[in-house]
Amino acid sequence: MIAVTGAAGFIGSNIVWELNRRGRDDLIVVDLAPDDTGCANLAPLRYARYLSKEAFRAWIAAPANARQLETLYHLGACSSTTETDWDYLAENNLGYTRELCLAAVNSGVRFVNASSAATYGDGSRGYSDDHARLDELEPLNLYGRSKHEFDLWARAGNLLGEIACLKYFNVYGPNEWHKGEMRSMVCKGYEQIRDRGRVRLFASDRPAYPDGGQQRDFVYVKDAVAMTLWCGEHRGANGIFNVGTGEASSWNRLIGAIFRALGREPAIEYVPMPEHLKGRYQYHTEAEMQKLRAAGYAAPMTVLEDAVAEYVTGHLVPDRHLGA
């Protein structure tokens, strides 16, 4: 069997969908107690059991249960970059992950964990996924810190030779409606165009970047899932890996792709950078992808404009979940 935590969420439900597409429904899906949001993402999908987080903790703690699994994809976490309760994050994102990691490793289960590009902080120290350079990183928020501290713990325990930790960059795609302000700008931008006919972006307060010229490594969720499942299937691909495209694209390019998908001319309004973000706003992110490529991952990345068009016309406009 395969277990997916955070299965009712964004990347988790996409993993379940892709596993279904590959003919797998012998899945244990794990999340909080089911609610309308979780049901919406998982309703069209197939799985064997739905366990709450606490029920799964108890289940996998028994070695006889854990040995029923071949792979555990751990996507479950609080992903809010504005969360300020460290005690909560330390238990939910760090303690829980350590617990699952040890249960998996001790039972010979392949463990693939969701880390985050938030661990790179402002990016001034680069985006290398070489675990020897973990000590150089300074996350800007407690969410990033919780992910970074697991990576450090895994390295200290010599576990990075047995597991894969994936640092996701700016992922966008179907099934992210429930994320509120943490949704991608493709989702939020589409809604702004639908409701107001234009999109608001932060103006630049750095001369080196034009308004809307700030850049991110935007990765389509289907590509992120392909990399995640590849790591699950290749037990020799261990350590920390970036999950991005290796190409930085501007906000203007991203928003322009949404307008083109809708057959409309771009209309962008630039608003001043908020004071609380000045000095903390990332102007450029770009995943270094050489390590994953060297490990053997060879699939091409979806061109941004093609991915945005598929997402907008296939999911946002018809308001359709994956598999529906």
Q: Give yes or no: 179 in active site.
A: yes
Q: What 3-state DSSP class applies to 210?
A: coil
List all residues 6 or more positions away from 234 whose beta carbon is below 8 Å from its beta carbon.
295, 296
Give the bridge partners for 112, in sequence order.
Answer: 73, 164
319 burial level (CB within 10 Å; 0-12, 13-18, 19+): exposed
Contact present, 215 and 248 (Cβ < 8 Å): yes
Q: Given the residues 53, 179, 270, 283, select the one marked as catalytic.
A: 179
DSSP line for 166-196: EEE-EEE-SS-GGGGGGS-HHHHHHHHHHHH
Q: What 3-state DSSP class applies to 199?
A: strand
Q: Can you read off the two tokens belonging to residue 65?
A: 């249960």
Contact present, 322 and 15 (Cβ < 8 Å): no
Taking Cα atoms as reference points, which of 310, 17, 19 lies closest to residue 172? Answer: 310
Query: How many other β-carbons are positioned within 10 Å of the β-carbon of residue 260?
Result: 15
Strands 215-216 and 249-250: antiparallel
Taking Cα atoms as reference points, which of 261, 258, 254, 259 lies closest to residue 219? Answer: 254
In which element (H, E) is residue 307 found? helix 304-311
32 burial level (CB within 10 Å; 0-12, 13-18, 19+): middle
Q: Given the residues 50, 143, 172, 190, select the one marked as catalytic.
A: 143
Q: Give yes or no: 167 in active site.
A: no
List all residues 6 or more positions away from 255 whose beta carbon is below 8 Å from its beta carbon.
185, 189, 199, 201, 212, 266, 268
Q: Tell me the angle at which helices 96-106 and 142-156 cross, rounded to the nearest 10 degrees.
A: 30
Write out the catalytic residue numbers. 143, 179
